[in-house]
Structure 1
Amino acid sequence: MRIILGSIVMIAGIGGLTLWGATERGPGVEDQIRVAAEAATRGAVHSIKAIVSGRDITLTGIADTEEELATIVAALDKVEGHRGINFDTVDVIPVADPYSTALAKAGDGSLNVSGFIPNAAAAATLEQAGVVGATDLPLASGAPDQWEAAFTAGADALASLDHGNFALTSTKAMLSGVALSAQRAEAARSALANMPSGYETVTEIEVNDPGVVTFELRYDPVTGLDLDGSIPETLGPDGIAAAMGLPAPSGEIVTTDAAMEGLGDMLTELSAVLPDLNGLTLRVEDGQVAEATAQVLPGLDIALVGSVLSEALGRISVDFTDPVIDAEPGTTRQNIATGETEVLHEGHWLVKPDFDVAGAVCTERAQDLQEERRIGFLTGSAELDKPSLAVINDLAGLVLHCTQAYGMRVTIGGHTDSDGDENENFALSVARANAVRNALAARGISPQKMVAIGYGETEPIASNDTEEGRAANRRTTFDWQG
């Protein structure tokens, strides 16, 4: 009886230990196996994941080679406590021999790639750099050492060419294509020289350099720059656009190692007169300005604009043609030189303000417009000086905007300093106010919306004892009622 009872107690004890081991020790062993398995797969070239269930290990993902997979399995086989390893679901990528990848650049700058890629990270990097199809390339092992550095050097070299091809076959790098100047060809060769040690390079670069600066530049206030011909490599199309304060030009452009002295400075000076132009054509031959044709905006003085334009272009003669305005009245456009929205009104392109009309706001805006460029007159006369015509053009858009609302009218005030006879100053101020009113009416502003009043010397804003004060007092004011 005692023997039977003892056996029962012993069996119960063994069962309890087994249950304790399963509930208390089991999860701990599984966690240890999982940590060890993750460490064994962490250095894989591609993504290999170890799934641990109980004491069994299952591998999934992509192995770079059979050797890499065998190394991982051998490491897992040493994990203490594991029971079995299943790696049937791991795909081993093929070996490429020779290992070849090619990059093609079209004339529009687009890039296309073909061949093999060593891993997903390299494919993503190429795709982000604008290489179309990089992430669709098949994975293959067998890439030579420092493959990514070699391919990057080739891609950098190809970037200096207008169009061409770069092919990396094992450790042989081949670059061919067309460079638009000797400088760009040299830049391509210099980039290719960054190949890692052990790589062989072959280059076939054709230089398409006309050797002379010859181009035609066309400016339009809506479409911007259009450029055809050969320009200095040192400036390039972006440099020309930057000098003129405009977006990059369109057109058929090549660069040359030839120089044109002072071209950048000339274009920078030219940018100052662009707001006064409705079009410009500039022809350069053999590094010299050969011809210039321009259209001056209606309402401006052609002689004044022409003198500024001629000075900017090296004092050459400029031919002027009538502005071509092929648009219906009320048409709006964005002036690319000024950034302003303009509306066609009575044959004039007037700036179209963007604010709600209110008397005080309109008065303030008129003052702001005259902060840097004031309306001026010939000495002792009611004749507007030539620079004032551009100011009148700007003010016409504001007056049109502010008088369109019901009941809104503007009072144009003429003011003089205290020099001379008081009565003569009063008469001069009336004449000058009317001259401004007439100039605005010529730009399509309704005369019924404008009142001209002369104040003479009665409303000074500065002391008449200094020249600066007297200049400040000689002014034209705009006040809105309604």
Structure 2
Amino acid sequence: MRILLGLVLFVAGIAGLAWWGSSHQARTIEDEVEVAAKGVVTGAIHPMRVEVSGRDITLTGTADTEDELIDIVASLDAVEGRRVVRSDDVDVLPVADPYETALAKGIDGSLSLTGSAPSAAQAEVAAGHGATGAMDLPLASGAPEGWTEIVGAGVDALGPLDEGSFALTGMTAILSGTAATPREAKAATTALNALPEGIDRVVSVDVLDTGVVSFELIYDAGEGLSAFGTVPENFDAPAMAEALGFTDIAGDTTTTFGMDAALPERLSDLPGLLPDLERLSLRDEGGQIIATGVASPGLDPGYVTSELRATLGDDARIEITAGDAPDDWVTRTNRATGADQVASAGYWLPVYDFEISKQACNDAAAQVQAGRQIQFVTGSAELDTASMSIINDMAGLLLHCTDKIGMRVTIGGHTDSQGDDNENYRLSVARANAVRDALVARGVPAGRMQALGFGETEPIADNDTEEGRAANRRTTFEWPK
């Protein structure tokens, strides 16, 4: 009996040992299959999962393409010890052809991404670049190599732009939008240098401020000042008006960061010339000045041109024509001087409005001539063109002061002491008559004026100096008391 019991126990032990060995070996093989299977899917483009049960392999997850799935299944089939490979639950991404992804930058600076992403991992990288919506993109295969670098270059290119879009279509990247200045446009284009090799690029960026000064400044004696075009932001239309002595300016201008460095100085020298002009159009094309205009009636256009050239520079293009004579007794306010004017005999003359008396007229004549003199061509009685303005002002005064009965003015010609006394006397008479004739031509009654020559007999300064002699060469207007 004991022998039988021992034999049974021996057999049972041998069987248990065999069962334990078989079970242990099966688990070992299953573990080895699982390790090998997981190694196969480690290099997959998208997350994939393998489960091993009884040496059967079940594959789940997402395959980038049918070819990738076939390769993975073939590799799993080659795993030693496996029995069955199941891949029915694997999703294969659709193929996008052409592959499209687009970035849009709004006016608030936000970046939104639309289209397709190659993988969740790459979408996460795009989101890290600041592309809103990247993690919500549907996945699709067929993306160009370096998709994340392409999106990153798009983000960087849109950064300097005010707004715009960056679109990837197949192997072409398209950047469009608006840039504040050429500097930002260049930065956006330069960012595209980070695109992978083989990606074509198309750039269409509008620059809001090109930095080019291009405007027209218009002066009209009766209407005032206006400006149109693109002016420097640090010397805008109001600043131009102020430089020209105006408090207001009409027109429509935009500003640019660009600058014509010589412009402020040029305009600051123009106010003294505006009374000689009926109209002036001053165009600035990137520093090139083009001036066209009309001289005040009676003024020589050549003289006005030379004065403008001295102010605007020898490189300026200037064309001044003669002004048409206005109809008599038309009135206006000259916007450059602020003085009321009346048309007389084809000239614009200032209108004076004060109570007429000999003293008042003498004082007014002195004020008109303060700081300036009627000038003549050297050695002759021909009026210098530069004297036309003062002749006009004096004509307006004489029209007013001779309007009262008994008011007669004496026009005196005076010379310095250089040269022959008799010749100086004859020259002084001729010059006084030349002034009288010019005033008559402007409508002043000839019978209210008397021209006298005094030669060098009434000096007001030392004839031993050039300054003194210049002061003695003068024309006087007096209403004898």
Tell me which interval the TM-score lies in, with the shorter structure as reference length: 0.5 to 0.7
Label 1:324 to 1:464 Cα distance change in 2 as closer, same or farther (>3 A): closer
Q: State yes or no: 1:395 paired with 2:394.
A: yes
C-alpha distance in 1 between matches for 2:210 and 2:360: 57
The residue type paired with residue 299 of structure 1 is: G
- In structure 2, C-alpha distance between the alignment counterparts of 1:181 and 1:269, rounded to whole Å: 34
Amino acid at match of 2:236: G
Letter in 2 for 1:241: A
Residue matched to 1:435: 434
Asked whether the 8 Å contact 2:297–2:324 carries over to 1, the reply is: no
Shift of 1:386: 2.5
CA shift, 1:236, in A, is: 1.4
Q: Which amino acid aligns with 1:392?
A: I
Q: How does 1:258-269 map to 2 (within 5 A)?
A: 258-269=258-269
The question of whether the paired residues in 2 share the 8 Å contact of 1:260 and 1:288 is answered with no
Residue aligning to 1:338: 337
Are 2:217 and 2:225, in contact at CA under 8 Å, matched by a contact in 1? yes
Q: Deviations over 1:424-454 (max 9, x none)?
A: 2211111111011111112222212211111
SS in structure 1 at match of 2:367: helix
Deviations along 1:204-238, one digit per CA (max 9) or x if unpaired, are: xx984353211122111122112111111111111
Residue 271 of structure 1 corresponds to which residue in structure 2? 271
Using the aligned pairs only, state the percent identity: 50
The structural deviation recorded for 1:481 is 4.8
- CA distance change for structure 1 residues 366 and 288 in 2, over 3 Å: closer, same or farther? same
Partner residue in 2 for 1:306: 305
State the 1:391 CA deviation. Answer: 1.5
Residue in 2 aligned with 1:363? 362
Give the direction of change, closer, same or farther, for the CA distance of 1:356–1:181 in structure 2 (3 Å limit): farther
Q: Secondary structure at the match of 2:270?
A: helix
- The AA in structure 1 aligned to 2:449 is M
Task: Specify the code of the residue in structure 2 equivalent to 1:260.
Answer: D
- Looking at structure 2, the residues matched to 475 and 252 of structure 1 have their Cα atoms a distance apart, in angstroms, of 47
Shift of 1:285: 2.1
- Higher CA-based Rg: 2
SS at match of 2:392: helix
User: Are the equivalent residues in 2 in contact too, given 1:301–1:389 (CA < 8 A)?
Assistant: no
Does 1:452 pair with 2:451?
Answer: yes
Matched residues in 1 for 2:279 and 2:411: separation?
A: 32
Q: Distance in 1 between matches of 2:260 and 2:470?
A: 43
Write the deviation string for residues 69-96 of structure 1: whole angstroms up to 9, x where unpaired: xxxxxxxxxxxxxxxxxxxxxxxxxxxx
Give the equivalent residue in structure 2 for 1:22: none
CA contact 1:418–1:457 (8 Å) conserved in 2? yes
Structure 2 counterpart of 1:468: 467
* Distance in 2 of aligned mates of 1:449 and 1:181: 68
What is the aligned length? 281
User: By how many angstroms is 1:397 displaced?
Assistant: 1.0
Which residue does 2:233 correspond to in 1? 233
User: What is the distance in 1 between the residues matched to 2:470 and 2:256?
Assistant: 51
Are residues 348 and 458 of structure 1, via their aligned partners in 2, closer, same or farther at CA, if it must alter by over 3 Å?
Answer: same
C-alpha separation in 1, matches of 2:238 and 2:207 = 21
Does residue 243 in structure 1 map to residue 247 in structure 2?
A: no
Q: Distance in 2 between matches of 1:249 and 1:357?
A: 37
In structure 2, distance between residues paired with 1:273 and 1:180: 41
Residue 283 of structure 1 corresponds to 283
Corresponding position: 1:419 with 2:424: no
Deviation at 1:328, TM superposition (A): 4.1
Matches of 1:355 and 1:475 in 2, distance apart? 26
* In structure 2, distance between residues paired with 1:258 and 1:469: 49
User: For residue 288 of structure 1, what is the amino acid of its counterpart?
Assistant: Q
CA RMSD of aligned residues (A): 2.6
User: Structure 1 261/470 Cα, relative in aligned 2: closer, same or farther at 3 Å?
Assistant: closer
Contact 1:413 1:452 in 2 (8 A): yes
Task: Using the TM superposition, name which of 208-217 and 406-415 deviates more.
Answer: 208-217
Contact 1:299 1:393 in 2 (8 A): no
Aligned-partner Cα distance in 1 for 2:283–2:252: 15
Which string of whole-angstrom CA distances, capped at 9 and with x for unpartnered residues, describes residues 280-327 of structure 1?
Answer: 0122223422x32111112323222211112322222311233256x6
Distance 1:180 1:410, change over 3 A: farther
Alpha-carbon contact 2:301-2:322 (below 8 Å) kept: no
Residue type of the partner of 1:341? D
**5 Å matches for 1:5-404?**
208-289=208-289, 291-315=290-314, 316-324=316-324, 328-404=327-403
Letter matched to residue 333 of structure 1: R
AA at the equivalent of 2:397: L
Provide the rounded CA distance (Å) in 1 between the counterparts of 2:262 and 2:296: 27
Whole-Å Cα distance in 1 between the matches of residues 425 and 310 of structure 2? Answer: 39
